[in-house]
Chains A and B, each alone.
Chain A
Amino acid sequence: MNTFAPLQRRRFIKGAAALGAGAALGVPAVASAAVQSGVGSMPVLRGNHFDLRLDRIQVNKSGTPTWANAINGIVPGPVLNWREGDVVTINVTNNLPEMTGLHWHGIILPNDMDGVPGLEFPGIMPGETFTYRFPVLQSGTYWYHSHMGYQEQKGVYSALVIDPAGTPLVQAERDYVVVLSDWMDDSPLVVQNNLKHESDYYNYNRRTVGTFFDDVSQSGLKATAKDRWQWANMRMDPSGIQEPTGPVFTYLMNGKRADENWTGLFRPGERVRLRFINTSAQSTYDVSIPGLTMNVVHVHGNDVTPVPVDQFRINVAETYDVIVQPRDENAYTIFAQNMTRSGHSRGTLAPRPGMQAPVPPYDAAPLRNMADMGMTMMPGQVAASTPDRTRIGGIMPMGVSAAQKERRTGFQEKLDLPPVTKDLKPGVEAQYVLDHSFDRLDLPGDGLNHLMGQRRILTYADLRSVNPGVHEGEPTREIVLTLTGNMGRFIWGFNGKKFSEVGPIDVTLGERFRLRFVNSTMMTHPIHLHGMWMELENGQGDHRPYLHTISVQPAANVSVLVTPVATGQWPLHCHFLYHFEAGMFRTLRVLPKVV
């Protein structure tokens, strides 16, 4: 357990810093007796001993009855509520017709408790019970899910809330988990099969003859033709930003459809903590609560200096806790629109059950642009938006200032490509290799960038950990992973290779290294590292945020610092289910120190 000691020290010294942040939030340091932890309409299991059972059941999530994989008979499964410092014992009985494994997302634990069948864990066979047992060394908002095949898509997921050992830094009178998920009636394997044959199968937001003429009337024939030619040349559609999308998904909030309207109650003036967890298989959301300011206080299980925002983007597997303080008797809509604007989930905060507020319209659907493809942009090009009559992904009209243009195109400080990326060649598994990469940490991403002046939107650059990091010192080497893929063939990987074609990345226990991600695809991939934290180098110095999943925008060049705290084989993968099952997966093999 020695390996965990530094982590414990860092994560859980909370005294003075806690008071400081509490004051900043306007939160009294004394816990209210009314504090509820991780509740809502979702069933909660508390304690340090749990019995979980996986069954194949019939559910009706979309309006059509179909099969699901349930935890203890429900989808999503029960919320688990642990306590920091406990040793938890979890008996998982597998009644599914296939092997399974439950993974505790973001939890620092011994490798054989990580729950990834195939690595240091044989998987739980049908009819068998496996007992997980490990110490809980951290606190905060996390989640758990099946790490076997496509089981997660069909229901094996839920929230995991760990109460801190001491006084919680973040104080609130109400505390709700908000589990976002993308339910699918179909079989996920059929969907993967469809994507292998026609990767834009689920895209009903393509460019058409109509958008061509819209762009011509706005920006002229020449610019439009040039833009179309560039995309045709790359054989890509800038509207293909996430697959699959709304046509196949029913977006859920705490297991409820938008029309079922999950509701969290409050009394005016109360501070309400909402723990947003994106447990989706393949859906990114833009979250807002019209009429309320959200104070982002806790990200990926770690407290951050509060950031007041109107909207934030949450990629798959990320968690963001916000505090809202409604002061009147009104209802407020919790609105999570899918990034592709092909659907949404929705709930309500209300003083009484049955109340509701208007559901806002979707923001304009983003399109990719040439900066996303790692190119420098010519004046007059691309990626505008609706507010001033310019279209997203249409071409910028005359008279747009350079600053506006930069924001709209997401064109940021240009960074040198690392050698690994430069050496890559386009091929079967790498549709293109970008010419330039950019620092995009202070942009929320396509579809939101152009709204930055009008709304407060969270970016990675805003995240500042309350506690300073424990691991000092400069990294001794840099490991570069270029995110690559071939859209048309639906093959995904790192450095032009899928998982089964390359070996693990070897590192040593306690070694400090830098991981650099360069995204040479047009998707925003959430890259998750098991078993250790990724300290995002976002300019916050010692107060770098500790993250378990990094959302890497197209053409972004982003780095994290890592110090492995346990030996074993730890997956490093894109958390889009259909991407990692298509090869966007590596293992980080943490070897013991040679004495």
Chain B
Amino acid sequence: MRGLAAAIGMLVAFTGSARAQLFDKSEFFGSGLGKDTLNGAAPYGNPIADNRVYIHGYFDQLEGRLGDGQYLRWDGQAWIGNDYNKVWLKSEGRYNPGNRGRMEDGDHELLYDRPIDQYFDVQAGVRVDLDSSRTRTWAALGLQGLAIGFWNVEATVYASDTGHYALRTNASYDLYLTQRLILQPQFETNWYTKEDRARGVGAGLSDIDMGLRLRYDFTRKLAPYIGVAYQRWFGGTEGLRREERQKINDVRFLVGLRTWF
């Protein structure tokens, strides 16, 4: 024990002197910047507010997917926070007024968000599958950001308390045809490790949902669009849908509004 205490003492002394050296060095040779202190720097409070809390909410998709069995589809996010600490809310799902108001694919997430580099944020929190099917709860851990080539990407892994794991990815790109006319390809995938019959998903790649949307930015915050969406179910999920005599391929035209505040 005594040896350990001595070692700790030496370590403290060493780091202490190292720090003092660093400080002295910066005083005379370095940038001249004070170290780690705002002491006395702003006696009456800060002259600027660079840690302000901002808030935004936006719908990337808020659209009617038309045709036989048409439904409303939404995919929205909201965040509140400063540069380093944000609370992030995500919600997506389908509302089918024709089918007795049935809600499907409800995926709602509450996440803590922290930037880790120039372009990417880490997000962690909970996901609740809340819709007309059985409710499921997951822990969520993901990455969201701007990938090379200006692709907006998201990838989140989920773990449920019953030992199920899932992965969801989403990517989209804004191609500026003109300053206000924008073509956006978008591509989402869902993966599950185990079958969950109550929610109609099988193991493996479950489904993809891709879209091509042409929007017009009347303002950046108000952009109506038209487009086409394609959905395809795979593997176990495909099998379950076949049992239920549901489509495994679905192409639909859509009209929607991209909006945010």
Contact = CB atoms under 8 A, between A and B. Distances in A.
A420 B38 CA distance: 21
A206 B150 CA distance: 13
Interface stretch (A284-292, A385-393, A400-408, A582-590): A582-590
19 contacts: A118-B46, A193-B54, A193-B55, A201-B220, A209-B175, A232-B148, A235-B119, A426-B117, A428-B84, A431-B118, A488-B146, A489-B83, A502-B33, A503-B35, A503-B38, A507-B32, A583-B50, A587-B42, A589-B41
Interface residues of A, number: 63
B37 interface: yes
B179 A500 contact: no
B178 A506 contact: no
Interface string A479-495: 11100001011010001
Nearest to A487: B118
A426 B32 CA distance: 21
B33 A505 contact: yes
A580 B48 contact: yes
A2 interface: no
Given A198-B220, A235-B146, A428 B48 contact: no
Contact of B54 (A123, A196, A430): A196
B41 A427 contact: no
Contacts of B115: 428, 489
Contacts of B179: 204-206, 208
Contacts of A500: 38, 46, 50-51
Interface of A: 116-123, 147, 149, 192-194, 196-198, 201, 204-210, 232-233, 235, 420, 426-428, 430-432, 477, 479-481, 486, 488-489, 491, 495, 498-500, 502-507, 513, 569, 571, 573, 580-583, 585, 587, 589
A210 B181 CA distance: 12
A209 B178 CA distance: 7
Contacts of B260: 197
A302 B43 CA distance: 33
A119 B177 contact: no
B153 to A, nearest CB: 12
A359 B44 CA distance: 48
A585 B51 CA distance: 13
Interface string B173-204: 00111111000000000000000000000000
A149 B52 CA distance: 12
B47 A585 contact: yes
A495 B41 contact: no
Nearest to B34: A503
B163 interface: no
B50 A119 contact: no
Given A499-B46, A513-B32, 8 more contacts: A120-B43, A193-B55, A208-B176, A208-B179, A232-B149, A477-B28, A480-B31, A587-B42
B8 to A, nearest CB: 29
Contacts of B180: 204
A488 B84 CA distance: 14
Nearest to A205: B179
Given A479-B31, A503-B34, A506-B32, A486 B50 contact: no
Contact of B34 (A206, A481, A506): A506
Contacts of B149: 232-233
Contacts of A587: 41-42, 47
Nearest to B32: A479
Given A118-B46, A504-B41, A235 B36 contact: no
